[in-house]
């Protein structure tokens, strides 16, 4: 048999490929043979879906027994659908031509395929036929250009840029008209102006175009470059944060998206998964109920329950059957280590916990050889042949295996799944009440429950069903639905064996993290596929909801539209009433009711989402998680979604900010997210520290960029009034270029190191995040302050420069340099005054940049061809130059310092008070819980009557109030309570200017 090495780009559909161990798959192929006699191979799919555990793939049954030497001669047809992006499904059929098999149709599934970018592991070789290649592979179809995420700061900057552009056009038009009028009236009378009496028709456009060039710097082109640079540094700060490294696994935090760091400081809703996100996803078998007998209730550990151990030792039939279902009704692969120990490779942590628990109770699943499963019990080996596997789906909520006992030939159906999927299928006459009580008891303890069942099948029944199952498995249209329908034909009249209870512990620091972020005004929604009672217990454990009487949990349920509508109206009425009461109200809803609510009562559900701070959504699908994110985004809230598994990817990608946890479920969520962290508790630092600092720094940098450009532009405009409105530039071309590139860019870039408050203070007082959420540092009001500052400074610089020119009778080049020097000095002091914490780098950047300004201009003054020959030398020798610069700085900064002093002394913000406390070193008392005001809709909703205005975030009244008592206590040197005032804030609180 001859083989030829080919490049991946030359592979065509229908080619038979041989893959060696550890090779990466270049295309999607259907397995035809492997080096394993049973036709099994192992693959690693981490590059595809992030899952780190090895998965098995098997060759189709029709290929069993074919000599691999003849594989290159095999002929047949594969019927498959067109290329799609679903990496978990492959519905196709294989038909081999004689002499291999006489047109027997064999269904193919994803279990018979290896997808592109997977790696072949623990298998010497495998071969298969290419079905999708190039960009038509499932991975290739999943590739695409991700939608860029626009941050709230970017949106504000874009609006401000548009406003400045309109202002620029108005200025150009007004000055252009004024220039033409002056030219036609006054200019021709002046002996030193030589305008021709008549000119071409386009001469009217010359002066407006000059002013367009002069005003072109009004919009700083460098702002996008500067923002991209500092945002990259923000991302690096997250990567370098040693306090966000998971010491248990050594996993650091990582920022995959460098463009949205400031949005972390404006998060209003966090939507979180439960299993593996709030919990450790380390499943531990705790309790069980077998045939009505509860084990582990006293000790809390069924594996150490003497009664259960004795029942296993005595060979109790009920217990043995229960353990058998635990051991073999799964997709676990047992593997022997070099030391002889049995290692289990499981795709589900629940299955891994059940198999290990059965092994600890002496029923050990130790070998899987193709379709033969081997277990040992009391030194005897039992073999089962797997006839069919009815896989778990989110719709069926259960899985089953059909096995044949190799000793007596009996056929059994073993099933496990959720109680609502298993208990209704119990045979008539069996009392299931005790199992229902067991499920309720275990879920009240926050344990995850599964029901186990079995049924014996006769040969004829199985043979008839197998024909239907094979026919459904061969269908190319709606295969999954048809298979589920056929499975239901067999999964009935089950004998319920018992209930398992698995503990999934909360991660360390989860309750504290949620409590802190709730104080920061962030709302939490839990979206889980788990049972309602289990989710509620976890929510209580991690401070999601408060127990009675402080908290109140409302339930939305129902299976029909009418039932859901009544339940929703009842909850809405209660929410409207309790919004005026200091009570923590939340609601819980299951996936079925949620589907009806989103489809038929979306407006009412939207109002409910705004009125509540906490929601628990149970039994939800990945698509429903994404719908809930979209619902909150439609209300213009900033959302953050966090999860750890593949079922969270859609939610993570839909949210404004996606955070993935690198957990036991693999890296699929982490790779699809904007940020990845090792544990949920790091979310607190990610938001309060990195998010808040990023927002503060970006707000300053963006407004300062406009300020420095407007400052120079206003000076040019003022100069036009003494230059005949001719559009002549006061500054030379080099100064205009170097102004943005050298003179003013470096000091502001070092603002990425600025911290208005220490990290400890920020973590201790999370309420100050409200300033970021409400956009208090970057809005039209604060921008108007910077706009006015630039106008005032331009007037100061221009007036003093021109007066110095008239007094000294200097050349215009010297006046230009005096004005430019005034701008540079003023900006150095502006940056210094706006900086809260200084480092060596910041001092070097501010004052070193000022020194560099003189060095550069002195060098240029020494060059005869520079156009600035000897100018700087003359100015620096004149005392009047330094006096003029001093007057500019004093006149420009004096009113600003006075205003700052007044606000810091008589109207300090809470941030100012915390800054003063830090400088004085006085202790700050911890704050009590603060209840937010309810939210309401911002947009008009036709079917709702909502009267209260929508607040972008809960208003923390004590936080935003200004208490004279608080200010007086600062100077006493005694501990003071920062948030002791209870005064109300007017609705216009967000119109104030910059607070710090």
Residue 405, annotated ligand binder?
no
Q: How far apart (Å, rounded) are the C-alpha atoms in residues 353 and 846?
A: 60
Q: Which residue stretches of 90-151 are H helix?
A: 138-142
Residue 86, annotated ligand binder?
no
Which residues touch 305 (CB under 8 Å, ≥6 apart)?
295, 296, 298, 299
Which residues touch 7 (CB under 8 Å, ≥6 apart)?
none
Q: How far apart (Å, rounded) are the C-alpha atoms in residues 658 and 263?
A: 11
What are phi and psi for residue 226, nearest 5 degrees?
-65, -45
Q: Dig out the tokens for 146 from the structure.
A: 């991700």
DSSP type of residue 338: T
Residue 396, annotated ligand binder?
no
Q: How far apart (Å, rounded) are the C-alpha atoms in residues 413 and 174?
A: 86
Q: How far apart (Å, rounded) are the C-alpha atoms in residues 411 and 402?
A: 7
Residue 231, annotated ligand binder?
no
Residue 305, annotated ligand binder?
no
* Rg value, the chain, Cα: 36
Residue 251, annotated ligand binder?
no
Select which of 36, 49, 154, 273 is catalytic: 273
Residue 508, annotated ligand binder?
no
Q: Concatenated DSSP letters for 883-938? A: HHHHHHHHHHHHHHHHHHHHHHHHS--HHHHHHHHHHHT--BPPPPP-PPPPP--S
Residue 85, annotated ligand binder?
no
Residue 274, annotated ligand binder?
yes
Helices 222-240 and 692-720 pack at an angle, to 10 degrees, of: 160
Residue 602, annotated ligand binder?
no
Q: How far apart (Å, rounded) are the C-alpha atoms in residues 382 and 371?
A: 14
Regarding beta strands 269-272 and 657-661, do their DSSP bridges make them parallel or antiparallel, or are they unpaired?
Answer: unpaired
Tokens 């993570």 correspond to 652
> Which of helix, strand or coil describes residue 624?
helix
Q: Concatenated DSSP letters for 712-742? A: HHHHHHHHHTTTTT----SS-HHHHHHIIII
Regarding beta strands 495-506 and 448-457, do their DSSP bridges make them parallel or antiparallel, or are they unpaired?
Answer: antiparallel
Q: How far apart (Å, rounded) are the C-alpha atoms in residues 664 and 347?
A: 10
Q: How far apart (Å, rounded) are the C-alpha atoms in residues 339 and 342?
A: 9
Q: Dig out the tokens for 4 from the structure.
A: 């030829």
Residue 625, annotated ligand binder?
yes
273 tagged catalytic: yes
138 neighbors 82 (Cβ within 8 angstroms): no
Residue 404, annotated ligand binder?
no
Q: How far apart (Å, rounded) are the C-alpha atoms in residues 901 and 894?
A: 11
908: number of Cβ within 10 Å: 19
Supply angle C-alpha 564, 570, 576, rounded to 5. 130
For the sheet containing 380-390, what is the strand order? 293-295, 279-290, 495-506, 448-457, 411-417, 398-405, 380-390, 372-377, 363-369
User: Residue 484, exposed/middle/buried by CB under 10 A (0-12, 13-18, 19+)?
Assistant: middle
Regarding beta strands 76-79 and 92-96, do their DSSP bridges make them parallel or antiparallel, or are they unpaired?
Answer: antiparallel
Q: How far apart (Å, rounded) are the C-alpha atoms in residues 588 and 606?
A: 14
> Which of helix, strand or coil describes residue 335?
strand
Residue 877, annotated ligand binder?
no
Residue 619, annotated ligand binder?
yes
Three-class SS of 294-321: EECCCCCCHHHCHHHHHHHHCCCHHHHH
Q: How far apart (Å, rounded) are the C-alpha atoms in residues 339 and 262?
A: 51
Residue 102, annotated ligand binder?
no
Annotated binding site: 273-275, 351, 392, 416, 448, 528-530, 619, 625, 644, 647-648
Annotated binding site for ATP: 273-275, 351, 392, 416, 448, 528-530, 619, 625, 647-648
Annotated binding site for Mg(2+): 273, 275, 644, 648
Active site residues: 273
């Amino acid at each position: 048999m001859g083989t030829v090495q080919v490049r991946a780009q030359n592979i065509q559909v229908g080619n038979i490929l041989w893959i060696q161990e550890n090779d990466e798959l270049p295309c999607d192929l259907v397995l035809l043979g492997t080096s394993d006699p049973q036709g099994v191979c192992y693959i690693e799919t981490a590059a595809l879906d992030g899952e780190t555990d090895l998965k098995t793939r098997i060759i189709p049954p029709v290929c069993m027994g074919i000599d691999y030497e003849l594989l290159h001669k095999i002929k047949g047809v594969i019927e498959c659908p067109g290329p799609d992006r679903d990496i978990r499904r492959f519905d196709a059929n294989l038909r081999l031509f004689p002499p291999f098999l006489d047109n027997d149709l064999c269904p193919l599934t994803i279990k018979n395929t290896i997808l592109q970018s997977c790696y072949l592991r623990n298998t010497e070789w495998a071969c298969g036929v290419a079905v999708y290649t190039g960009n038509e592979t499932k991975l290739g179809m999943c590739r695409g250009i991700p939608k860029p995420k626009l941050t709230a700061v970017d949106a504000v900057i874009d609006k401000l840029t548009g406003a400045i552009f309109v202002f620029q056009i108005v200025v150009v038009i007004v000055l252009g008209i004024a220039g033409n009028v002056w030219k036609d009236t006054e200019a021709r009378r002046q002996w030193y102006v030589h305008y021709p009496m008549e000119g071409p028709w386009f001469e009217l456009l010359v002066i407006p175009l000059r002013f367009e060039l002069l005003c072109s710097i009004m919009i700083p082109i460098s702002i996008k470059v500067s923002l991209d640079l500092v945002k990259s540094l923000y991302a690096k700060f997250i990567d370098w944060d040693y306090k966000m490294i998971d010491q248990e696994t050594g996993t650091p935090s990582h920022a995959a998206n460098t463009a949205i760091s400031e949005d972390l400081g404006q998060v209003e809703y966090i939507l979180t998964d439960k299993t593996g996100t709030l919990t450790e996803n380390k499943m531990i078998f705790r309790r069980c109920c077998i045939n009505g007998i509860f084990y582990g209730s006293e000790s809390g550990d069924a594996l150490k329950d003497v009664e259960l151990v004795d029942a296993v030792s005595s060979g109790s039939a009920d217990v043995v059957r229960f353990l058998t279902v635990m051991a073999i009704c799964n997709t676990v692969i047992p593997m022997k280590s070099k030391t002889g120990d049995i290692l289990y490779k499981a795709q589900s942590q629940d299955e891994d916990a059940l198999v290990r628990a059965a092994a600890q109770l002496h029923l050990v699943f130790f070998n899987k050889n193709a379709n033969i499963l081997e277990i040992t019990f009391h030194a005897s080996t039992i073999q089962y042949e797997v006839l069919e596997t009815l896989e778990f789906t989110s719709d069926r909520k259960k899985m089953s295996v059909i096995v044949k006992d190799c000793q007596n030939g009996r056929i059994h159906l073993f099933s496990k799944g959720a109680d609502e999927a298993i208990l209704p299928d119990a045979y008539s006459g069996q009392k299931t009440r005790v199992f229902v009580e067991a499920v309720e008891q275990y879920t009240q303890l926050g344990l995850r429950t599964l029901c186990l069942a079995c049924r014996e099948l006769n040969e004829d029944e199985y043979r008839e069903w197998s024909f239907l199952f094979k026919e459904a498995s061969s269908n190319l249209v709606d295969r999954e639905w048809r298979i589920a329908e056929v499975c239901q034909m067999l999964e009935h009249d089950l004998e319920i064996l018992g209930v398992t209870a698995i503990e999934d512990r909360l991660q360390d620091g989860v309750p504290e993290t949620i409590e802190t972020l709730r104080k920061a005004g962030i709302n939490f929604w839990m979206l889980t596929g788990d049972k309602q009672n289990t989710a509620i217990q976890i929510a209580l454990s991690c401070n999601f909801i408060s127990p009675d009487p402080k908290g109140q949990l409302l339930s939305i349920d129902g299976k029909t539209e009418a039932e859901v509508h009544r339940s929703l109206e009842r909850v809405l009425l209660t929410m409207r009433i309790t919004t005026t009461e200091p009570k923590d109200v939340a609601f819980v809803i299951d996936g079925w009711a949620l589907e009806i609510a989103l489809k038929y009562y979306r407006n009412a559900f939207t109002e409910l989402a705004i009125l509540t701070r906490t929601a628990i959504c149970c039994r939800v699908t990945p698509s429903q998680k994404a719908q809930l994110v979209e619902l909150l985004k439609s209300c213009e809230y900033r959302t953050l979604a966090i999860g750890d598994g593949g079922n969270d990817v859609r939610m993570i990608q839909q949210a404004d900010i996606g955070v993935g946890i690198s957990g036991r479920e693999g890296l699929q969520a982490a790779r699809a997210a904007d940020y990845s962290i090792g544990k949920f508790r790091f979310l607190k630092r990610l938001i309060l520290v990195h998010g808040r600092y990023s927002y503060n720094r970006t707000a300053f940098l963006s407004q300062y960029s406009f300020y420095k450009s407007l400052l120079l532009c206003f000076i040019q405009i003022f100069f036009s009034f003494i230059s005949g409105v001719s559009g002549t530039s006061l500054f030379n071309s080099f100064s205009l270029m170097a102004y943005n590139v050298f003179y003013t860019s470096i000091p502001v870039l070092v603002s990425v190191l600025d911290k208005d408050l220490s990290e400890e203070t920020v973590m201790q007082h999370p309420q100050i995040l409200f300033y970021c959420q409400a956009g208090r540092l970057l809005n039209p009001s604060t921008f108007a302050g910077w706009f006015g500052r630039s106008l005032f400074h331009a007037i100061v610089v221009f007036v003093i420069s021109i007066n110095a020119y008239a007094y000294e009778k200097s050349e215009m080049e010297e006046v230009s340099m005096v004005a430019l020097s005034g701008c540079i000095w003023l900006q150095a002091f502006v940056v210094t005054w706006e900086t809260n914490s200084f480092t060596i780098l910041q001092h070097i950047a501010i004052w070193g940049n000022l020194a560099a300004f003189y060095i550069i201009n002195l060098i240029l003054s020494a060059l005869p061809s520079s156009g600035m020959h000897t100018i700087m030398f003359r100015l620096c020798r004149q005392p009047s130059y330094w006096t003029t610069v001093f007057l500019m700085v004093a006149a420009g900064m004096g009113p600003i310092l006075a205003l700052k002093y007044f606000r810091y002394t008589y109207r300090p913000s809470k941030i100012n008070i915390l800054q003063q406390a830090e400088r004085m070193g006085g202790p700050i008392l911890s704050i009590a819980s603060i209840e937010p005001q309810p939210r309401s809709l911002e947009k008009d909703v036709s079917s709702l009557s909502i009267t209260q205005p929508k607040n972008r975030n809960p208003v923390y009244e004590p936080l935003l109030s200004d208490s004279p008592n608080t200010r007086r206590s600062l100077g006493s040197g005694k501990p003071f309570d920062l948030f002791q005032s209870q005064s109300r804030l007017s609705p216009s609180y967000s119109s104030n200017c910059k607070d710090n």
